[in-house]
Amino acid sequence: MAELEPLRRFYLKSNENGLKIYPTDTVSTFDEFAIDELIKGVINKSWIPNDLENVAALAQHYGVMTRLLDWTFNFNVAFYFAAVNALNNICDTGASDKSMVIWALNYDELSRSSVNKSLKFVIPPYIDNPNLKAQKGILSYWKSDPINEEDMYKKRIDRTPLNEILQDNYSGDEIALYKIEMPISEAYKLLTFVNTNGYTTASLFPGYNGVASECNESEMINRARHILGQ
């Protein structure tokens, strides 16, 4: 219910405003006030329904809360987001002695292992979204088992992080998930590295918004450099 309502609103409002939205029978056949009927239609199915995956991926990309995790096929993109978030954290807290973490998922191995029945990957059509195309985005989620209507209000939200889920469910010979940790003080050097490779705010968010955001970020970056003494 917590996930379905925001997705339903996102779908209906996008369609109402003439925005391109992926077809889905899960929400499109119900009017705005039919949430009870909608819940009955999905309660006995695994979540997320296949026909709602691309809608959920698009909603997640624009800030709607879902269970999806954002990944990228391009390590430069991952480094960019790690560095920018770290520099923001330095400005907010003034702390330069923490660490930043980058997770690397063994996509090929997990796609062919036994966990692929539960660990699902969503690669939205890049042609419809220049941001996703620039960021080489891919999303993942752990599929929920169906529950019956009597238990729907008793079941608690499972917030177990993916690394712990894989530890309990993956038994392959290869490493499934890598944790790369580095000092937050290296954030500016990391951002400089990816910028040199052509990965900037303007290039990863194509359009005027990306250019404006990059211009506005310069003050934040200079403040972080001052704190770091770089």
**Is-contact 80 88, C-beta < 8 A?**
no
Same domain, 2 and 23: yes
30 pLDDT exceeds 60? no
**Is-contact 126 195, C-beta < 8 A?**
no
Predicted model pTM: 0.84
Q: Looking at residues 177-206, what average pLDDT do you find? A: 95
3 versus 75: the higher-pLDDT residue is: 75
Same domain, 11 and 99: no
Return the minimum-mean-pLDDT range out of 90-104, 142-156, 162-176. Answer: 142-156
Same domain, 108 and 205: yes
Is it true that the peptide bond before 175 is cis, omega within 30 degrees of 0?
A: no
Q: How many domains does the chain have?
A: 2
CA neighbours within 13 Å on the CB side: how many for 217? 19
Same domain, 156 and 187: yes
| Torsional sign, CA 152, 29, 51, 9 | negative
Range of the domain at 22: 1-66
E strands present in 26-146: 69-72, 99-105, 119-122, 137-142
**Is-contact 210 84, C-beta < 8 A?**
no
CA distance 74 to 107: 12
Same domain, 7 and 73: no
When the pLDDT of each residue in the chain is averaged and rounded to a whole number, the result is 87
Same domain, 153 and 91: yes
pLDDT score, position 158: 78
Q: Looking at residues 59-74, what average pLDDT do you find? A: 91
pLDDT digits (tens, 9 = 90+) for 113-157: 989 889 999 998 888 788 889 999 999 999 887 766 666 666 667
Distances (CA, A) of 30 to 8, 60, 66: 9, 22, 21
Q: What are phi and psi of 101, to 5 degrees?
A: -125, 135
Same domain, 98 and 116: yes
pLDDT score, position 191: 95
Same domain, 208 and 124: yes
pLDDT score, position 100: 92
